[in-house]
Amino acid sequence: MPEISVIIPVHNAGRYLPECIESLLGQTCSDMEFIFVDDASQDDSARVLMDWQKRDERIRVLSFPENRGVSAARNAGIEAARGRYIGFCDADDWVEPEMFEALLSACRKTDSQASFCRVFKDRPGGQENVPLGFPDGTVFDTDTIRTELIPAMLALPEDGDGQPLSGYSPRNLFARCVLEGIRFREDIRYAEDLLFIVTAYLKATHVTAVDRAWYHYRFHENSVTKHYSKFVPDSLDKSNDALEKLLSGLPECRRRMAIRRRKTAVDAVRNCCAAQTPFSFMERVHWTRAYMKRPKVRTLFRDLSLKGLGTRVRIRLGLMKYRLAFLSAFLYSTVFKYRV
């Protein structure tokens, strides 16, 4: 039985797979297995995986005959995993050699059921080492998981221009025991990680922060966040609804969820206007107007004060508050796109 199983969903990632695989095989922790789940790729991903599987017995390959999405791929990997700990990696990303040894060491030293690290965001124009927000070695117990860690993942303390601690599964290592009965929801095909992580953290007695960037999150022309996805509005609604139900008894989480819902409402409108959208300009206006009129969306912004907010935040939230559909569609299609 390997100490760690790493699950890697693959869909048309042949261009990036060799670097991903090499970084995993180069881990300083040697007692590992790597489960690649080919989600009906149409490029040469399957051939690349078969070639590498012949070279290293730690590589296992599962294949779907039809595309089922990243959540289904990760779930298949969890079912097949034999390790005492389970981690994740995306096929177009790569990891530093010490990543899994460092996360495993953090779990062992603190008797934690999960640990998480910083992430590098590798963009064509440069690299960002994203701050973690917690000192290295911070151990969260059952109380602080609920009052500090999970709220930090949901949203910033107030509506603002920054990003919360990202709910990104590949930055985590989980003890197998904490994932018993937990799977990714396969009907959520965008931003599916956060619900999975929060559910696992709620089962944990201890979670440890590792304030070092080990994971490289690669941004490229095919990155999901740069293009329109038909799954975005529905997936965000389902994820937020499930999170609110799960966290209903936690006051700070409830407060942060209102902030999160406002941010994801903006994301839904931006998605409608993103690159490769199938909608004409007027169709974007009509969709945005209908979305802004939804009772739940109107309630989110009805009593929101824009005073004291930064310019970009005030623009984003003001467009939603006053339901300026035409202006929103124009700005997100031309001027702002994904910059605001």
pLDDT in tens, 48-63: 999 999 999 999 999 9
Do residues 237 and 307 share a domain? yes
Type and span of the H or E element at 241: helix 232-246
Type and span of the H or E element at 123: strand 114-123
Of the residues 208, 224, 240, which one is the last residue of a structural domain? 224
d(CA 226, CA 195): 22
Which residues neighbour 83 within 8 Å (Cβ) at sequence distance 6 or greater?
A: 1, 2, 3, 4, 5, 32, 33, 176
Asked if residue 224 has pLDDT above 70, the reply is: no
Domain-embedded: residue 340: no
- Tell the residue number behind the tokens 């009906």, with chain if given: 40
Written as six digits, the tokens of 263 are 């941010």
- In this prediction, residue 237 carries a pLDDT of 95
d(CA 102, CA 212): 9
Asked if residue 95 has pLDDT above 90, the reply is: yes
Do residues 9 and 82 share a domain? yes
Q: Could you write out the DSSP letters of every residue in 71-117? A: HHHHHHHHHH--SSEEEE--TT-EE-TTHHHHHHHHHHHHT-SEEEE
- In this prediction, residue 340 carries a pLDDT of 41
How many C-beta atoms lie closer than 10 Å to residue 73's C-beta? 27
Provide the whole-model pTM: 0.94
Do residues 216 and 255 share a domain? no
Residue 161 gets which letter from DSSP? S
| Domains in the chain, number | 2
Asked if residue 335 has pLDDT above 90, the reply is: no
CA-nearest of 255, 260, 225, 224 to 240 is: 260
Do residues 183 and 280 share a domain? no
Do residues 237 and 308 share a domain? yes
Do residues 213 and 285 share a domain? no
- In this prediction, residue 87 carries a pLDDT of 98
Asked if residue 226 has pLDDT above 70, the reply is: no
- In this prediction, residue 189 carries a pLDDT of 85
The 10s digit of each residue's pLDDT in 152-165 is 999 999 998 888 99
Do residues 182 and 39 share a domain? yes
Do residues 144 and 191 share a domain? yes
The 10s digit of each residue's pLDDT in 263-310 is 999 999 999 998 889 999 999 999 999 999 999 999 999 999 999 999
Which residues neighbour 86 within 8 Å (Cβ) at sequence distance 6 or greater?
A: 4, 5, 6, 7, 78, 173, 174, 175, 176, 179
- Tell the residue number behind the tokens 């890697």, with chain if given: 8
- 274 vs 223, more confident: 274
Q: Return mean pLDDT, the chain.
A: 94
Q: Which domain holds residue 96?
A: 4-224
- In this prediction, residue 223 carries a pLDDT of 54
- In this prediction, residue 339 carries a pLDDT of 47
Do residues 209 and 232 share a domain? no
| Residue at 205: amino acid letter | T
- In this prediction, residue 1 carries a pLDDT of 86
Do residues 66 and 198 share a domain? yes
- Dihedral (Cα; 246, 180, 155, 145), 10-degree rounding: 90
d(CA 102, CA 118): 12
Of the residues 183, 209, 224, which one is the last residue of a structural domain? 224
d(CA 110, CA 204): 12
Of the residues 224, 254, 284, which one is the last residue of a structural domain? 224
Query: pLDDT-based confidence at 213, cuts 50/70/90?
Result: very high
Do residues 218 and 283 share a domain? no
**Are 150 and 247 within 8 A, CB to CB?**
yes
**Are 170 and 182 within 8 A, CB to CB?**
no
- In this prediction, residue 137 carries a pLDDT of 97
Written as six digits, the tokens of 216 are 């490289």
The pLDDT > 90 percentage for the chain reads 88
Do residues 105 and 208 share a domain? yes
Query: Rounded to the nearest 5°, which phi and psi values hold at 285?
Result: -60, -45
